[in-house]
Amino acid sequence: MTQRPLIYDFDQQELSAFLKEMEQPAYRSGQIWQGLYQQLLVDPGQFSTLPGQLRENLALHLDFNGLTPVRTIKSTDGETIKSLFKLRDGAMIEAVLMTYKERRTVCISTQVGCAVGCVFCATGQMKFTRHLTSGEIILQVLYYARMLQAYGDALTNVVIMGMGEPFYNYDATLKAVDILNDPKGFNFGARRFTISTVGIVPMIEQFAHENRQVNLAVSLHAAEDDLRSKLIPINRKYPLFQLIQACREYIGLTHRRITFEWALIDGVNDSPQDAARLAALLRGMLCHVNVIPLNPTHKYPGQPSQRERVDAFVAELGKAGIPTTVRTRRGVDIHAGCGQLATQEKSINTGSDQ
Ligand code: SAH
Ligand code: SF4
């Protein structure tokens, strides 16, 4: 049996076209859109504005459930909630909700696994299975939005920094952002999204021309090619020179600040010299650096930098006038790092001890 289309894969035009095929009046599309993205309804039976026959037909022809939570765990401080989800084909992905003061940030995945294979990353260690559809990306956001809605609360930020490389699943990622951004639906402001890329140069160039207010983050982790290529194999294809040039062009075109991400790995990329090299690379750029002590993973021996090393690294960047934030390793006790829970589940399933 062929799979029914996932309703969340439709943008509003596609939904309208589908409903037209079902010989429905045009206004039904708006009603359903509101039900999905404003009321956050989960199944067609709940759409009280629709006639019973249409609800039944929707249930018959479309899938409303593309993401099933299989495990949800909370960090001991209660501020981080991570869920492992099963997709319709049985593939597993994860998403994380982080609450901090007024912020409610969800971190979502764009692929099952990742082909880039960064050595320190649990998702990269897992290899690539497939891209997510736009609906599967959207459903991760809606899952947490519904959870918060039950407490009269709402999401404030969406970071596309979970499993996978969003710029290798470019169209589905931007389609998801656009749908969630729609003022007639979820109405989540473009500036509240951040897309993190490992540095796929042609896609950064394309993204620069999109004229979107979405924030861009670039995972750097090293400021010299030898080291970066060891950590991030794609650096051989898109070396630092090209990457930084693309970032400068992006800033020139959009006038938007880029966030550079740097996982501090003890004795690998955390010396004051590393910081000085980074400062030189970023000189004059409209940017911000986020440093985060590495989340250790099973297949990589690197360890997080100690407090003094972190402070010295940040101080060096400060001297060069580069704004820097230290991100705490939130949810470490629940393996909230990218891909870590799915890897764990896989090893439980296969009985391996990786
Ligand atoms: N593929 C994209 C987005 C997903 S990874 C990218 O690479 O940017 C999101 C961020 O988590 C990246 O900055 C990545 O380098 C970082 N990351 C991955 N594994 C990590 C780990 N074990 N510890 C700390 N940061 C990690
Ligand atoms: Fe892929 Fe990003 Fe992980 Fe690298 S860090 S393997 S690009 S998900």
pLDDT tens readout for residues 286-313: 999 999 999 999 999 999 999 999 999 9
Per-residue pLDDT band at 350 (split at 50, 70, 90) = very low
Query: Nearest-CA neighbor of 287 among 339, 244, 328, 330?
Result: 244
DSSP letters along 181-222, please?
H-TTTT---GGGEEEEES--HHHHHHHHTS----EEEEE---
Pocket of ligand 2 (CB under 6 A): 114, 116-118, 121, 123-124, 164-165, 198, 219, 338
Helix (H, G, I), strand (E, B) or coil at 337: coil
Mean pLDDT value across the chain? 93
Query: What pLDDT does residue 264 have?
Result: 97
Q: Which of 116, 121, 297 for mutating ligand 1's site (highest number of atoms within 8 Å of CB)?
A: 121
Ligand at shortest distance from the CA of 269: 1
Helical pair 307-319 and 272-281, crossing angle rounded to 10 deg: 30
pLDDT digits (tens, 9 = 90+) for 59-86: 999 999 999 999 999 988 878 999 999 9
Query: Nearest-CA neighbor of 182 among 171, 193, 197?
Result: 193
The response to whether residue 138 sits with its C-beta less than 6 Å from ligand 1 reads no
Q: Supply the residues annotated as catalytic.
A: 94, 338
Query: Nearest-CA neighbor of 248 among 216, 277, 275?
Result: 216
Query: What pLDDT does residue 78 have?
Result: 78
Q: Degrees (nearest 5) of the Cα angle 269, 300, 196?
A: 65
Looking up tokens 């400062």, which residue turns up? 279
Ligand 2 closest atom vs CA 121: 3
pTM of the model: 0.94
Ligand 2 closest atom vs CA 111: 8
Higher pLDDT, 56 or 340: 56
Helix (H, G, I), strand (E, B) or coil at 256: coil
Q: Which of 116, 120, 132, 341 for mutating ligand 2's site (highest number of atoms within 8 Å of CB)?
A: 116
The response to whether residue 198 sits with its C-beta less than 6 Å from ligand 1 reads yes
The response to whether residue 125 sits with its C-beta less than 6 Å from ligand 1 reads no
Q: Name the residue type at position 266.
A: D
